[in-house]
Structures are given as structure tokens and as C-alpha cells.
């Protein structure tokens, strides 16, 4: 058991520095890291469930609502996190407006979709710990060995026994 959250955060900072173009600002700014830190603070360590509202993220990260929206988009664009939009049917008939209304978002880290540079850094930092983990929760898992040769795996692997300390 180890604090994956801290290692992941440090890895994202290293990745941001790695992809930074000369003379440009970091693609993953300190505001973005504040939003990521806030998301991790809401993430359930056993299930990985993370579904705070935008206002709750803004309050925890001490940023404005609009800034949180922009930074979440940066995290999604850089493939650090992903989200699932939850909706309900509105009951509107044809030509009566929207058919669905959004209720909330759920955020998650999908290791299989992370940029290869992040996976490599995680493997360097966590290598032995990933191989030693014995938990078999569904979801993300150790970096597949096929990725080193540039081949993506065809199926999901079980998640390691990680703790997302809060």
C-alpha cells in the first residue's frame, strides 16, 4: 500500500515540464494542479469514485467556477483525467427542447489512456510496487509491458491495491 495520489501528482508535474515548449508557459499550470489535487481529495480510495460538483471543486481548490472548468478541460486535453457526464431524460416531446438534462459529472484516471510519457515515469517511480500489488479491483492497473514497444493492450487489466490518501 502506498500513496499513489502523491506519486501521480509529481508525475504530472514532471510530464508538464517535459512537454513544455521553449519560451512557453507550462501546459499544466499550478491552477490545474490545484484542481487535480482537489479531485484527488474527493476520490474514494477503494472504488476510485470521484463525483464532486464544479462548485465543490472550486471551493476546495480556492479557484473560481470558470477557472475550474478551464483547468478540467486542460486535464482532459492532456489525457490526465477523463469524465463521464450523467444525464436524465427531460420528458420533452419532439421539437419541445432538449431531450436530456445533465445532472452531474464523474471524474476518473484511466491509466490505459494516459500519455506514454506519464506511464513511463509512473513505471520508473512505482515499478516494484506495481508488480508487488496483490489487489484485483477492476479498472486501471499496472502499465502493460506491451506499451514499451508502442503496442497498446487490447483489454483492461485489474487495478493494483493503491491507496488514494486524502
In-domain check, residue 118: no
Q: Is residue 132 part of a domain?
A: no
- Domain with 73, as residue range(s), is 4-112
Asked if residue 166 is part of any domain, the answer here is: no
Domain CATH for 86:
1.10.10.10
Domain presence at residue 10 = yes
From residue 54, how far is each of 12, 35, 39, 107, 123 by CA, in Å? 21, 10, 10, 11, 31
pTM, entire model: 0.68
Q: How many domains does the chain have?
A: 1
Q: Do the domain assignments include residue 117?
A: no
pLDDT in tens, the chain (166 residues): 357 778 888 888 888 888 888 888 888 889 999 999 999 888 887 777 888 999 999 999 999 999 999 999 999 999 999 888 888 888 888 888 888 888 888 898 888 888 888 888 888 888 766 555 544 444 444 544 544 444 444 334 444 444 444 4
Answer yes or no: is 19 within a domain: yes
Report if residue 86 sits inside a domain: yes
Alpha-carbon torsion angle 15, 17, 21, 23, nearest 10: 170
Amino acid at each position: 500500500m502506498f500513496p499513489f495520489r502523491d506519486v501521480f501528482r509529481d508525475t504530472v508535474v514532471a510530464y508538464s515540464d517535459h512537454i513544455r515548449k521553449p519560451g512557453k508557459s507550462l501546459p499544466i499550470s499550478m491552477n490545474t494542479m490545484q484542481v487535480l489535487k482537489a479531485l484527488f481529495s474527493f476520490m474514494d480510495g477503494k472504488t476510485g469514485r470521484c463525483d464532486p460538483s464544479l462548485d465543490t471543486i472550486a471551493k476546495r481548490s480556492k479557484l473560481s467556477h470558470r477557472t475550474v472548468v478551464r483547468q478540467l478541460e486542460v486535464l482532459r486535453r492532456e489525457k490526465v483525467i477523463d469524465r463521464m457526464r450523467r444525464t436524465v431524460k427531460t420528458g420533452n416531446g419532439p421539437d419541445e427542447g432538449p431531450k436530456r438534462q445533465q445532472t452531474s459529472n464523474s471524474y476518473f484516471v484511466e491509466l490505459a489512456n494516459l500519455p506514454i510519457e506519464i506511464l513511463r515515469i509512473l513505471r520508473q517511480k512505482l515499478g516494484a510496487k506495481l508488480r508487488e500489488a496483490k489487489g484485483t479491483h477492476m479498472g486501471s492497473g499496472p502499465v502493460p509491458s506491451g506499451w514499451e514497444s508502442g503496442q497498446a493492450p487490447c483489454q483492461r487489466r485489474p487495478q493494483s491495491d493503491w491507496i488514494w490518501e486524502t
